[in-house]
Structure 1
Amino acid sequence: MQEKSPLTDDPKKKISFWLDENFWLKVSMVSAASLLALFIVVCASAYLSANTNRELTRSIDSIYKIGILGIATVTFSTVIWRGLVSTRQVESQVKATNHQAHQIELVRKQNERGQRNELASLLQKGAELLSSEQTTDRSAGLATLHAVAASNQEFSKQAMNILAEQLEKVAKEDYNSREYKNITEAMQDVYDKCSITADYSIAFEAPNDETKWSIVKGISRIKYTNGYFRLTREESEAVFLGTNVRFVGVRFESGTHAVTYLKYKNCRIRGAKIIFYTQAPVERNIFEMCDFSGCKVTIRSSKNITGRDNYYYEDTPPTTRDGKPLRDEWLEANFSKRQRWKEEQH
């Protein structure tokens, strides 16, 4: 039985054969050589066989046409060959680029695995040091966990949770200790730089009303009982307005407050700016010399605000949550009205 040519059996081989750059290079070279040989032979034959000038002219015209056809053939095959070479070079460059990108990705993953293992080890070591009885070990553990949390990586929140748990333990012993201050500063630094909070709930309870609270950032839920705060309006806006925090029996001296249900209970707020007021009767908060200008008020009953000397400026009176005016008699019963321009003149 006669064997079939491999080029006629497999369509893919047919295609690859016609896309072989070596084939078109050979075609170009053979065409050029054939054209040169044919040109020499035809020229010699025309010169030797021509008896008159007219016959010579006719022969030269034939040679010209053959030359054009040959040059076209050589040009065509050469263009295809150069195109295939360019395509191969581009494909080689793409393969090299993909290979380089693959190598870079492998190195990146190796670095990530190495960094992850290192952070996991530091997290474990920091937790062990922080639970030590030695002050120096706890300081080293705090520094280690601070670094892990500030890395803003996979174990940052776990490190913050460990710091929050330690802060709660320290707070039960002494709110004024150096360790308490160092932990709050570390957590505040991580929160300010990375916006990471511990998924943790802490209840701080002061031993007496004269305990001054300091700002604690980086904890998702906080409850303060007793003691007092003395903050600027800017500090209180940055800390309390966007935090899940509760106050029970706390005294506030200045600050900015959004008094909502279950956030303040049995608190005394003095000399502060009140931007939102909703209060259940059981909360029994007291307001003294507070500025209610522009405050959004939700009134569930006709009960008056407990306190004294609260006020608003007449150009920005308190309103309902949707901006509607409040009853004049309620405003008169709870606030004094001030004029800005008179105070600015003094």
Structure 2
Amino acid sequence: MVEKGNGAGDQSGHKPATDINAFLKSEPFWLAAAFVTGLSVIFMTLVAAANAVFTLTGTELADRVDVIYKLALIGVGVVTFCTVVWRGLISARQADAQRDQIAKLAEQSRASERSNLAGLLQKGAELIAEKDHPARVAAGIASLQAVGEGSEDRYGTQAMEILADYLEGLGSRAFTSPLGKSAINALADITKRTNRWAARTISFSNDPEDYDPEYDFRFSAITGVFEVHYGGGSFLSEEFSAKTTSPTGYRFDRTTFDECEINMRCGQWDRCTFETVKFTVADFRRSTKGTYENCDFSGCSVFAPETFPDLRAGRNWCDPKNPPVFSRGAKDFDWTHKLDTAPTADFIDDDDDGSLFGPSK
């Protein structure tokens, strides 16, 4: 019984405070307070003034009128205060109502957009599957790109996954057909504009044993997915850097790179051939059984320098005024034991200043 009484006491102790707060935030209370105060001031002012006029004269009357005037001013101030609070409560209520309305409209807009994106995603998936109708596939790619660049991460990622699956389904034709190139560009644009990427690892293979010299097949870099595997094939004048390919990772097997710019930390390079390549970052822990010919390592940032092989046999070189640098700070090293110090004739372009990649900056 005692505990029950204490519980009731606690409840009765908290309830009045809540009631008072609610009462003080009540618009009718402050309106009534202003009304009652105003009437009281008028009534008391009239009564006091009448009493002073009929009972006092001279200096006493003047003093009494002065007192009545000051008290009336105080009353007017109280009325003004109550009125200001009342109007403030009304404004706050209206502002809250507007915020609630805006929030509801925003939620309705988001719900409508989600519904539209879901419908567009479904339609895009249906269109891109109609491989016998190129026009519909193109419409499907455009629809999926619109979803990918939309405001909903979930639908955007799903759209990118559908595009990635479509590309993998095309195989080598993904790099030669107009629709494949459109899908590759769509993935790149979505990633560039939204920083989204598909949780997909896709693979492409073009075995050198099946290579037709009359059919100059080349890969191109795909971005916007978790990882891409390339087997065989070749790349021409592609750039593999953290800026151009992030967050996509790469794995290459028996692939040829010609006149490319490469950061080796962007992928894993197995039995690859590099010809007249400009290396910006070298990490030979990521490369196995590679072949290097006429490659430029000038200014290259080198990781794990103990793994850097002797590449002079392949006529690979660096500018002696701009040698490779160790990633963890400059160190004195004689690069003539690893690289030539001038490009070969095969590397020089007669149209520029002597470097395949233009004048050094």
TM-score after normalising by structure 2: 0.77
Structure 1: unaligned runs, 5 residues or longer: 1-9, 44-58
Partners in 2 of 1:26 and 1:99 — Cα distance?
Answer: 33
SS in 2 for 1:202: strand
- Whether the 8 Å contact between 2:190 and 2:196 is mirrored in structure 1 is yes
The letter for the 2-side match of 1:201 is T
Q: CA deviation at 1:171?
A: 2.1
1:249-268 correspondence runs (5 A): 249-260=254-265, 263-268=268-273
- Equivalence for 1:52: none
The 1:239/1:223 distance shift into structure 2, 3 A limit, reads farther
Q: CA deviation at 1:60?
A: 0.7
- Equivalence for 1:247: 252
Using the TM superposition, name which of 16-25 and 33-42 deviates more.
16-25
The letter for the 2-side match of 1:214 is S
Which residue, out of 39, 43, 52, partners 1:30?
Answer: 43
Q: Which has the larger radius of gyration?
A: 1
1:266-345 correspondence runs (5 A): 266-280=271-285, 283-297=288-302, 298-300=304-306, 303-305=309-311, 307-325=313-331, 327-328=333-334, 331-338=335-342
- Equivalence for 2:8: none
Partners in 2 of 1:286 and 1:27 — Cα distance?
Answer: 102
Which residue, out of 206, 211, 218, partners 1:212?
Answer: 218
- Whether the 8 Å contact between 1:289 and 1:309 is mirrored in structure 2 is yes
The 1:84/1:122 distance shift into structure 2, 3 A limit, reads same
| Residue 205 (structure 2) pairs with residue 182 (structure 1) | no
- Whether the 8 Å contact between 1:287 and 1:306 is mirrored in structure 2 is no
SS in 2 for 1:337: coil
Q: CA deviation at 1:212?
A: 0.9
Q: CA deviation at 1:167?
A: 0.9
- Whether the 8 Å contact between 2:264 and 2:286 is mirrored in structure 1 is no
- Whether the 8 Å contact between 2:241 and 2:263 is mirrored in structure 1 is no
Partners in 1 of 2:201 and 2:232 — Cα distance?
Answer: 18
- Equivalence for 1:40: 53
SS in 1 for 2:166: helix
Identical counterparts, % of pairs: 20
Partners in 1 of 2:331 and 2:165 — Cα distance?
Answer: 47
- Equivalence for 1:56: none
Q: CA deviation at 1:211?
A: 1.7
Q: CA deviation at 1:62?
A: 0.9
Using the TM superposition, name which of 192-201 and 75-84 deviates more.
192-201
Using the TM superposition, name which of 136-145 and 153-162 deviates more.
136-145
Q: CA deviation at 1:232?
A: 5.5
The letter for the 2-side match of 1:118 is N
Q: CA deviation at 1:308?
A: 1.4
The 1:242/1:326 distance shift into structure 2, 3 A limit, reads farther
SS in 1 for 2:118: helix
The 1:83/1:240 distance shift into structure 2, 3 A limit, reads closer
Partners in 1 of 2:158 and 2:286 — Cα distance?
Answer: 40
- Equivalence for 2:75: 77
Partners in 2 of 1:134 and 1:63 — Cα distance?
Answer: 107
Per-residue CA deviations over 1:75-111 (Å, capped at 9, x if unaligned) read 1111101110011001111111111111111111111
Which residue, out of 74, 83, 86, partners 2:84?
Answer: 86
Per-residue CA deviations over 1:182-231 (Å, capped at 9, x if unaligned) read 21122222222222221111111124454211232222211111111112
- Equivalence for 1:4: none
- Whether the 8 Å contact between 1:39 and 1:67 is mirrored in structure 2 is yes
SS in 2 for 1:290: coil
- Whether the 8 Å contact between 1:284 and 1:306 is mirrored in structure 2 is no
- Whether the 8 Å contact between 2:242 and 2:266 is mirrored in structure 1 is no
Partners in 1 of 2:149 and 2:139 — Cα distance?
Answer: 15
Q: CA deviation at 1:35?
A: 3.1
RMSD of Structure 2 on Structure 1 (CA): 3.1
Partners in 2 of 1:300 and 1:22 — Cα distance?
Answer: 90
